[in-house]
Amino acid sequence: MKIEIEVKRRRMSVTQGEAVVYINGQEIISFGDDIRMIPKGERCFGTKIGDWASVKPDTEFILGMLYHPYDEIYHYSEKVKQALYNILKQEQNGGMSCVTM
């Protein structure tokens, strides 16, 4: 079974945005995006509106879903675990997943 982790970005305005992390289409968590004015030639992520875009790559949000970098105790493992258990149930109920050669 394919397990897909996806980040979708939403912009509420030119200078405000959020990033939502999904596992197989199930929303797990959302984060405020870091939208800044991007100088010409500088790297940015997501959609650039005017000169404004995110300075955070998708991987930062995925890591944030798994582990909160500022607090060793606080994390989102329960939501991630539940999403993965739902996928496991689908696999178990779907029959064979091996390839016959």
Distance, CA of 2 to CA of 42 (rounded, Å):
34
* pLDDT tens, per residue, the chain with 101 residues: 688 999 999 999 999 999 999 999 999 889 999 999 999 888 899 999 999 999 999 988 888 888 765 555 555 677 777 888 888 787 777 655 444 44
Q: Is 92 left (phi over 0), alpha (psi -120 to 50) or beta?
A: alpha
Q: What pLDDT, on a 0 to 100 scale, did the predictor assign at position 24?
A: 92
pTM (two decimals): 0.74
* Alpha helices (H) along 1-101: 58-66, 77-93
Q: What pLDDT, on a 0 to 100 scale, did the predictor assign at position 80?
A: 78
